[in-house]
Structure 1
Amino acid sequence: MLKRLQRGPWTCPQCARQQQKAARRCLVTSSNSRGSAATATATAPDDYQPVLKASPSIAHDDRALRQIFDSHGFWKDFSSKNKYHYGGRSAGLFQNRYLTHPEGFQTFANITLQKCKRIVSRVLAYESVEDYKRAAKDLDRLSDLLCRVIDLSDFVRSVHPDPKVQAAADNAYGTMFEYMNILNTTTGLNDQLKKASQMPEVYNTWSEEEKTVAAILEKDFSKSAIDLADSERHAFVDISNEIAQVGTEFVENMATATPYLSLESSRLNGMDPMLVRQLTRWGNVTLPTVGMPATLALRTVEDADTRREIYMANRTSAKDNLHRLEDLLKRRAELAKLSGYDSFAHLTLADKMAKSPEAVTSFLDALSADNAPRVKREMQELLELKKSDARSSNFPTDLNAWDRDYYTAQLLSNERTKARAPDFLSAYFSLGTVMQGLSRLFHRLYGLRLVPREPLPGETWNPDVRRLDVVDDNEGHIAVIYCDLFERSGKSPNPAHFTLRCSRRISEEEMREASELSSQTNGIFATAQEAANDGLATQFNPKDGNALYQLPTIALICDFANPPSGSQGNRPTLLTFRELTTLFHEMGHAIHSICGRTALQNVSGTRCATDFAELPSVLMESFASAPEVLGLYARHWETDAPLNPERVRERVEVDRRMAGAEVESQVLLGMLDQQYHSSLPLNWSEGAVGASTKLYHQVWNKYSSVPEPAGTSWQGFFGHLFGYGATYYSYLFDRAIAGKIWRDVFQRQQGGAVDPEAGGLFREEVLRWGGGRDGWRCVAGALRDKEGVLAEGGKGAMEMVGRWGVHG
């Protein structure tokens, strides 16, 4: 497929829990940056010494970075400096010169469409060897043109507050998406690409990136059934459409078989009495069986029989949705069979690091074995707690499924009582100091800085959005990040990283085309260089013969509280430790996009295998609590006193108190995902419901340390089955790899978390490749094991990663 559709932002299990907990709490250095009349309450320390002093303005940029997030007055002054630039006219969203008004989206789509059609005509007309040598680059550019409109429009229609802009972006998206579907069934493109790949005189001249991109596009064409006969291809399209429809319906209709339980209020002793009172009518409590009230009840209600009743209702899905799930799984199995694969898992994993479902199972089995002693100790602790207060009628020698949440909550409550108040750390984590700390960390590890840049009129979709330019000490301006980090009405609460424009080399031929375009667009573009990238940022790359590159353009979305007003108006936004970790996680994705500056966009940054994409972001979470990293920035917002890292260590220990149970839970879901996407659904009776429940209990009976009672059917709530079918193991997989790299690379010596040598190794072996190098070679290179089992990949490597375990 020429447009490699980005998956939706991954909501990892940790992030999902964070969202639930939140609900329960109801580059060019800017030359004209000047001081502001308004400053943050505590000024940034001046004793920070960057590893490389590339510019005397570094200290100024470092202070300004903190202030644009921590001081509303400073930001207001800073962001208004370009107010009269362009004579008051809009520079266009993201400085895309077409997007100065809603109608510009269709102009942008139409002009891009013309460029696409010229490339398609040229590819279909290939005849000579020299023609075919262009195949990978031409098709990559075609893909880039599609992405330019689709990715940007998809983002804008979901975040922009103006309905007219949303509608215009949606129309542009639809125009290009429809054209993309036509291209994906244009057999001539696939034929020409295959022909080029099979010609030694062509293939041997390609770079590694070109070979990788050609292989990716061939696989994507194959997955869209382009090689099948017409009748089979039509069947493929029909089944694909059915999967999309029933999968969406499955996710949207997750519900319990019994929506409410009616209970006497006396049975809910231990639960928050205020909440119980809110749910009480005429002496009885009407308790929803799904959502926060049920979750709190399972954690706090003292009566075991009541917890059991709630547990059973909470984990028994509505039959209609189970039918949708089984229909989805059966259709996926049929699609795989039609495509020539043994199962949907085989189809999906062919281009992942795992390669096969057998290798995934080997990884999960090895991880389960590594985790077993830890989870056994944790469950024994819970059992001891139960023995200390359980009545003889409550099976005091057994830990039941409805006991685990209750006694876990008691255990963690005891642990937190010993530690400081949960909001103690927030005073040291103002948003500005954290962003400052990230910049300092990136500078020490990678020689990169985050430099505040005044936005031009119309460049951002909301006045709260900050623009940062990423500046490399050796290469100059290499990326742009738009930070939309504050909450507002109508904004999604889910943290996410979006790549709006990928890295890619701009050819001399494109520059000639751009020169013609700039002369035909009535002054929209001042130069051909602007026209070549629609007005978005470009820069010459000294590592590639000073070739012109389009720069990665990234949007970072979070939902942090706005600074308080009134008497506390000078107080900045303070992050909880969980929010801090979330920001580090999302910046891990961003740094992958920033450093993965490849010549071809299909392998740029995070455009890599699904089971490799979370590695940089998961690794970044470890930096969030490292003492030497905290020393770069964690200071009290009022007193400027540094944070004692012991306080963070205590907090991390509490968070990891039941880490074994968490890993076991994810292993169970990963195993269930693999079983559901095997060939088994092909044998399920049409219209009958129950096969998925039987399989669910088989997996739990084999791998769970606490038996699942008969009668439950929780799989009807496993929404990730639709978006991440056969790849749910990926997050655990990347956690295991990230933990190993953290220990062996960044903790090999004291101060390793800010060691430029360690950072240089990780950037060189992992980050810079994007998806242009096999993930196993990246991991092996970072771990200095380039000739061993890891570099070969396959089942043996998957088992090895499982044996590393998840201990962070």
Structure 2
Amino acid sequence: MSNPLLAEWNTPFNLAPFDRIEDAHFEPAFDVALQEARADITKIAENPEKPSFANTIEALEASGEALDKVLSVFFSVAGADSTPKRQELQRSFGPKLAAYSSEVTGNKKLFQRIKTLWQVQDDLDLTDEQARLLMLTRRRFVRAGAALDGEADQRMRQIMARLSELGTKFTQNLLADEAGWFMELDDQALENLPEFLISAAREAGREKGVDRPVITLSRSLLVPFLQFSSRRDLREQAFRAWAARGAMGGETDNRAIAAEILQLRQERAQLLGYDSFAAYKLETEMAKTPERVKDLLWQVWTPAKAQAEADAETLTQMMQADGINGALQPWDWRYYAEKRRQAEHDLDEAALKPYLSLDAMIDAAFGVAHRLFGLEFKPLDIALYHPDCRAWEVTRNGRHVAVFIGDYFARASKRSGAWCSAMRGQAKRPHVQGPVVVNVCNFAKGDPALLSYDDARTLFHEFGHALHHLLSDVTYESISGTSVARDFVELPSQLYEHWLEVPEVLEKYARHHQTGEAMPPELLDKMLKAANFDQGFQTVEYVASAMVDLAFHEGDAPSDPMDKQRETLENMGMPQAITMRHATPQFAHVFSGDGYSSGYYSYMWSEVMDADAFAAFEDGAGAFDEEQAKALETHILSRGGSADPEELYIAFRGRLPGVEALLKGRGLVA
């Protein structure tokens, strides 16, 4: 066939033939694939045979194969390498996919087949995984409104279609604001900036088509600028632009979009019989209720705020010593915190970066995975969706496991943040090779690319998500890999960050990019001792965002989310010099889709577990304890969503953890 998205992929590892795929292929392929998916659903629902697990649940698993192929490619490139055409297609596809999803879950004959199987499940002789899949399928249909009739059913379809439109628009507005702003730096502005930052700013300038170095709203450029620039006026200008994303007025303003999303979510929850969207959303998470989430967040907030306020006093004194009177401002915090870190820990981040090259940190992430799980990584020379992308074949004991793709550099066409996705998930199916897993980051480009310690942690974090996909070993794709409760999904990623702090890992991989010399022991020691530096600030900005997210969804939807944000922060006693990590108009976790709505707390919930889980290694034979690594793979990484997450964690650790290890790990308690 002429459209490569609809043809058989006779490519290495059945990867998408990116060198033959053009934007013009997406829409016709989508239309054909969507039609085929609808036909699959009709065939299952209209099947005259008695419902069975095979002809209903497994048939649902296998349905829409062509649509999955088309969308896996499209959404991968649309998020990481956007174009006006791809944005237009996102706006077009979103409502159509929402309508299709509503058609599936609203198909009364199909739902009746699922209900019938649910009612006779004890007679079906199902495996534990099949029983879990049946439960999750029924629950997904019920929570999507399958049991609704008449006007309620129609209204739910309208809500889901509109939410899809709004989420896409929110994302594209944010991308437009981020791509449209940059600040040129003259020679005076470059004074006192470290060379790595100047180099990255020059590269950003070339990408923007200007002759001078520039600061963009890419976090990998903006945060170092706020840390190192002695120009308070420019720090303020850059910070205000960063804080204004999504709230600049005009067509890209996200405030009205956020308000409508919250209203529709509340209506959706009430149609399904819940008092609030938070109650609806948290029912299927480990936390279960908003009250349990708030209990965790307040336990962390109190010591974090106390630490942040004490730190603010110190930083204010440093600022006043520079002759600047008045209150410490958000654009001052990182600058004086960096000076304090250098003074107290004698640690200069610019001195660290030559030892943290991107290539070395990739090797480190791979090396740890080899020691823990026996994985091997071989570079591949294949066509990918962008020249910056790199790929590796993952094997174990000579057997193909997966293909891993890394897309590491910031660019104007890429949305902000970092994420992991699977172009093809793991499942036990004939004639299909293993998963295809993608890590996307936004590191500043350089020659070579040098990372901050936070950048390196991000790389390890996203690779932890990748391992959840790579080591998945279940039968059905819909419960493989990261298809788990939102407040469990961050456990593997945050746990993997701990290995970046293992001295023997850094001694082996943290080597100077020019000389190859290992990081000097004294510098390594300073870096590890400074790992918890400024945790009051980091914890406060995170918990504030999580609290606001929960407040948005816990009761009646606010008519003005910005007022609700202000009210929530005031009630918490938010320190004046710290802002939310993600203010409402740019809170893509919450408003670009339902993924983290009422669930931004998940990182903290998972951190409670990851601190306890790494302690299992430390209490055993150390970071590379073979028995613990095997248990981690057996009970968590290989199981996906095939069992309840509490069961999986208890199987690994023998119990559920408390908050103490988290507070100690962040240095918030002695």
TM-score by length of 1: 0.64
Cα displacement (A) at 1:699:
2.5
Q: Which moved more, 1:106-115 or 1:377-386?
A: 106-115
**1:267 is matched with which residue?**
none
Rate the CA distance shift 1:380–1:694 in 2: closer, same or farther, 3 A: same
**1:221 is matched with which residue?**
141
**1:766 is matched with which residue?**
636
How far apart, in 2, do the equivalents of 1:329 and 1:410 lie?
Answer: 37
2:612 equivalent to 1:740: yes
Cα deviation digits, residues 65-113 of structure 1 (max 9, x gap): xxxxxxxxxxxxxxxxxxxxxxxx9955863588784488656984796
Cα displacement (A) at 1:586:
1.7
* Equivalent residue letter for 1:441: V
**2:3 is matched with which residue?**
none
**1:467 is matched with which residue?**
391
Cα displacement (A) at 1:799:
6.9
Cα displacement (A) at 1:301:
7.8
* Equivalent residue letter for 1:557: V
**2:436 is matched with which residue?**
553
* Equivalent residue letter for 1:741: A
Q: Is the 8 A contact 1:430 1:575 kept in 2?
A: yes
The counterpart of 1:663, out of the listed 539, 542, 547, is: 539
Rate the CA distance shift 1:298–1:625 in 2: closer, same or farther, 3 A: closer
How far apart, in 1, do the equivalents of 2:652 and 2:591 lie?
Answer: 33
Cα displacement (A) at 1:479:
1.1
SS of 1:471's partner is strand
Q: Which has the larger radius of gyration?
A: 1
2:478 equivalent to 1:602: yes
* Equivalent residue letter for 1:206: L
**2:60 is matched with which residue?**
139
* Greater relative CO, 1 or 2 (CA 8 Å, sep 6+): 1
Cα displacement (A) at 1:432:
3.5
**1:677 is matched with which residue?**
553
How far apart, in 2, do the equivalents of 1:170 and 1:234 lie?
Answer: 22
Cα displacement (A) at 1:445:
0.7
Cα deviation digits, residues 266-296 of structure 1 (max 9, x gap): xxxx999999xxxxxxxxxxxx99x979x96
Q: Which moved more, 1:188-197 or 1:174-183?
A: 174-183
Cα displacement (A) at 1:771:
1.7
Cα displacement (A) at 1:252:
6.3
Rate the CA distance shift 1:486–1:371 in 2: closer, same or farther, 3 A: closer
Q: Is the 8 A contact 2:427 2:475 kept in 1?
A: yes
The counterpart of 1:95, out of the listed 14, 17, 20, is: 14
Rate the CA distance shift 1:273–1:454 in 2: closer, same or farther, 3 A: closer
| Percent of aligned pairs sharing the same letter | 23
How far apart, in 2, do the equivalents of 1:325 and 1:741 lie?
Answer: 36
Cα deviation digits, residues 728-747 of structure 1 (max 9, x gap): 111222233222222x1232
How far apart, in 1, do the equivalents of 2:316 and 2:86 lie?
Answer: 57
Which structure 2 residues correspond to residues 343-382 of structure 1 after superposition, within 5 A? 343-382=276-315
* Equivalent residue letter for 1:586: E
**1:85 is matched with which residue?**
none
Q: Is the 8 A contact 2:95 2:162 kept in 1?
A: no
The counterpart of 2:360, out of the listed 419, 424, 433, is: 433
Which structure 2 residues correspond to residues 283-362 of structure 1 after superposition, within 5 A? 322-362=255-295
How far apart, in 1, do the equivalents of 2:92 and 2:43 lie?
Answer: 25
**1:82 is matched with which residue?**
none
Rate the CA distance shift 1:484–1:664 in 2: closer, same or farther, 3 A: closer
Q: Is the 8 A contact 2:380 2:393 kept in 1?
A: yes
Cα displacement (A) at 1:186:
1.8
* Equivalent residue letter for 1:335: R
Q: Is the 8 A contact 1:376 1:705 kept in 2?
A: no
Cα displacement (A) at 1:557:
2.9
How far apart, in 1, do the equivalents of 2:666 and 2:171 lie?
Answer: 29
* Equivalent residue letter for 1:746: F
Cα deviation digits, residues 102-129 of structure 1 (max 9, x gap): 4886569847964873565245426446
How far apart, in 1, do the equivalents of 2:518 and 2:545 lie?
Answer: 41
Cα deviation digits, residues 773-800 of structure 1 (max 9, x gap): 2222233333332xxxx3xxxxxx7878
* Equivalent residue letter for 1:378: D
Cα deviation digits, residues 424-478 of structure 1 (max 9, x gap): 33333344333333232112111111123443xxx433455433111123x8211
SS of 1:614's partner is helix
Cα displacement (A) at 1:603:
1.0
**2:209 is matched with which residue?**
none
How far apart, in 2, do the equivalents of 1:336 and 1:169 lie?
Answer: 26
How far apart, in 2, do the equivalents of 1:737 and 1:561 lie?
Answer: 31
Which structure 2 residues correspond to residues 507-546 of structure 1 after superposition, within 5 A? 529=431, 533=432, 537=433
Rate the CA distance shift 1:314–1:442 in 2: closer, same or farther, 3 A: closer
Cα displacement (A) at 1:658:
1.5
SS of 1:732's partner is helix
The counterpart of 1:447, out of the listed 374, 383, 391, is: 374
Rate the CA distance shift 1:407–1:138 in 2: closer, same or farther, 3 A: closer
How far apart, in 2, do the equivalents of 1:385 and 1:574 lie?
Answer: 29
**2:197 is matched with which residue?**
none
How far apart, in 1, do the equivalents of 2:568 and 2:82 lie?
Answer: 45
TM-score by length of 2: 0.76
How far apart, in 1, do the equivalents of 2:305 and 2:94 lie?
Answer: 48
Which structure 2 residues correspond to residues 54-133 of structure 1 after superposition, within 5 A? 91-92=10-11, 95-96=14-15, 101-102=20-21, 110=32, 114=36, 117-118=39-40, 120-122=42-44, 124-125=46-47, 127-128=49-50, 131-132=52-53
Q: Tell me the matched-pair count.
A: 607
SS of 2:106's partner is coil
Q: Is the 8 A contact 1:416 1:654 kept in 2?
A: no
* Equivalent residue letter for 2:455: E
**1:729 is matched with which residue?**
601
How far apart, in 2, do the equivalents of 1:192 and 1:372 lie?
Answer: 53
Cα displacement (A) at 1:604:
0.8
Rate the CA distance shift 1:298–1:699 in 2: closer, same or farther, 3 A: farther
Which structure 2 residues correspond to residues 473-484 of structure 1 after superposition, within 5 A? 473=397, 476-484=399-407
The counterpart of 2:458, out of the listed 579, 582, 602, is: 582
Q: Is the 8 A contact 1:336 1:343 kept in 2?
A: yes
Cα deviation digits, residues 346-391 of structure 1 (max 9, x gap): 1111211111212211211222245355335434434655786789
**2:178 is matched with which residue?**
none
How far apart, in 2, do the equivalents of 1:302 and 1:361 lie?
Answer: 37
Which structure 2 residues correspond to residues 600-639 of structure 1 after superposition, within 5 A? 600-639=476-515
Q: Is the 8 A contact 2:425 2:477 kept in 1?
A: yes
Instruction: Give 5+ residue unaligned stretches, structure 2.
Output: 1-7, 176-187, 194-215
Rate the CA distance shift 1:372–1:462 in 2: closer, same or farther, 3 A: closer
**1:413 is matched with which residue?**
339
How far apart, in 2, do the equivalents of 1:156 and 1:149 lie?
Answer: 11
Rate the CA distance shift 1:449–1:174 in 2: closer, same or farther, 3 A: farther
* Equivalent residue letter for 1:223: R
SS of 1:504's partner is coil
Q: Is the 8 A contact 2:483 2:641 kept in 1?
A: yes
Cα displacement (A) at 1:576:
3.7
How far apart, in 1, do the equivalents of 2:77 and 2:119 lie?
Answer: 41
Task: Quote the RMSD (CA, aligned, Å).
Answer: 4.7
How far apart, in 2, do the equivalents of 1:737 and 1:641 lie?
Answer: 36
Instruction: Give 5+ residue unaligned stretches, structure 1.
Output: 1-88, 256-269, 276-287, 395-399, 512-528, 538-550, 565-571, 791-796
Q: Is the 8 A contact 1:431 1:573 kept in 2?
A: yes
Q: Which moved more, 1:335-344 or 1:108-117?
A: 108-117
How far apart, in 2, do the equivalents of 1:297 and 1:99 lie?
Answer: 39
